[in-house]
Amino acid sequence: MKPLIFVSHPRAVAAAPGGLQICTDEFIRAFQAGGFDVDLCLIEHDRRLTSRLRNRVAPQPYPAQWLPESVEAIARAVAESRAEHVCLNLANLAPLAAALKPALPRATQIVLLSHGLESVDYLHTVPAGSTAGHERALGRRLLDERAQRAALDHVLCLTPFEAEIERWLGARRVTAVPRTISPLAPLAWRPEGRRIGFVGTLDHPPTRDGLSAFLSALAPIAPADLEVRLVGGPAIDGHALASKYSTVRYLGALDDAALREEAATWSAFAHPLFCWARGCSTKLAVALAWQIPVLTTAAGARGYSWTRGELPIADQPDDFAAAAIRLTSRREADAARCGVIDIVNTAPTIEQVGSLLRRALAA
């Protein structure tokens, strides 16, 4: 086993169901499957008063999110283990590389585990009539990201899409790490009526905009008995959507057991994402693992690959709405579910991803 120092904030390795935690766990399991002895080095955020005041007066897209003693702790862990790789978990820790470089042996590689770039999602929040402030903010993010790559030896991305952006930013080596399917038990699928399910963070701009576009396209053509059953929060956003669209039934935030029970009654899981957002959609891996029909977009399926099976894809809101209605037919849904099962059985395994990581870091 080759030692590897895995630097992360505690929240990323907490027992929580969010995308950050899912991707972090997947990275750790893949490294272990690839023959690495993963040594977690948890660092705390810099919450000192002086740092908070500085960030308030002169906010930065990538502030220093670590305490000064964190550099010494990481260097000590490298010296004790003789690790050849230090992995920084999350793009927000990229600035730490420049501080670490002088404290580490020259042969030690600093690897960024990117869950997505700040600039990618920020662009989607800029209105069509952008202001000079928006332009400066986007430019600052891109310039900061380019400067950070000078101290990084390798960047691991969740999608080929962001791998190309990393190369454009000047990263020395880049590897796109394919997504695996969550190791969850399939649901006892028993669709009830015309139910289309959705799970997500309702105020996340790409999610919010995609869902609204789908619901707007669905409204004039939806059968009277069709329901779009929303799971997630914040509650204020969910209730607002239920008030605006008669097809929406807002269920709030459900725990895992209640969500599985609810999702088993859906004709299909809808993932309407119409922009290329940062990172990957971890919720898609969960839906595929449930082995129920899934409808998404090319952007929604970014980072996933398989060798057999088909996933219904509709890249325009009108097409997505029409496809969602078709999937409320049991015949269409059964065919889509067979495609999902083939996808689950032929997607990359954690062992295959581990082998890829070992080869990539050895190059």
Owning domain of residue 284: 194-346
Length of the chain: 363
Q: What is the pLDDT of residue 117?
A: 94
Residues 326 and 357 in one domain: no
For 31, the enclosing helix (H) or strand (E) is helix 19-33
Q: What angle do CA 283, 288, 293 make, to 5 degrees?
A: 110
Q: Are 165 and 313 in a shared domain?
A: no
Residue 263 belongs to some domain of the structure: yes
Amino acid identity at 44: E
Kindly state the greatest CA–CA separation across the chain.
67
Give domain status of residue 269, yes or no: yes
Residue 187 in domain: no
Residues 162 and 221 in one domain: no
Per-residue pLDDT, 131: 86
Residue 317 in any domain: the answer is yes
CATH, residue 241: 3.40.50.2000
Q: In whole angstroms, what is the distance from residue 301 CA to residue 287 CA? A: 12
264 burial (CB, 10 Å; 0-12 / 13-18 / 19+) is middle
Are 160 and 82 contained in the same domain?
yes
Closest among 270, 216, 274, 210 to 245, alpha carbons compared: 216
In a domain, 241, yes or no: yes
Same domain, 21 and 170: yes
State which amino acid sits at residue 363. Answer: A
Task: Identify the pLDDT of residue 160.
Answer: 96
236 occurs within a structural domain: yes
Report mean pLDDT in 10-residue bins for the chain, 363 residues.
Answer: 96 87 95 98 90 84 89 97 97 96 96 95 84 91 96 97 97 97 90 96 93 98 97 96 98 95 98 94 94 97 95 97 98 97 96 98 91
Q: How far is CA 216 from CA 141, 232, 274, in A?
A: 33, 19, 14
- Note whether residue 183 is domain-resident: no
The DSSP line for 142-184 is: HHHHHHHGGG-SEEEESSHHHHHHHHHHT-SSEEE--------
pLDDT of residue 318: 98
Q: For position 60, what pLDDT does the model report?
A: 84
Q: Do 52 and 170 share a domain, yes or no?
A: yes
325 and 281 inside one domain? yes
The answer to whether residue 288 is domain-embedded is: yes
Q: Do 10 and 128 reside in the same domain of the chain?
A: yes
pLDDT given for residue 124 in this prediction: 84
For residues 15 and 64, state if they share a domain. Answer: yes
Please confirm whether the linkage preceding 234 is cis (ω < 30° from 0). Answer: yes
Question: Both 220 and 299 in a single domain?
Answer: yes
**64 and 151 together in one domain:** yes
Cα–Cα distance, 99 to 206 (Å, whole number): 33
User: Are residues 27 and 88 located together in one domain of the fold?
Assistant: yes
Number of domains the chain is built from? 2
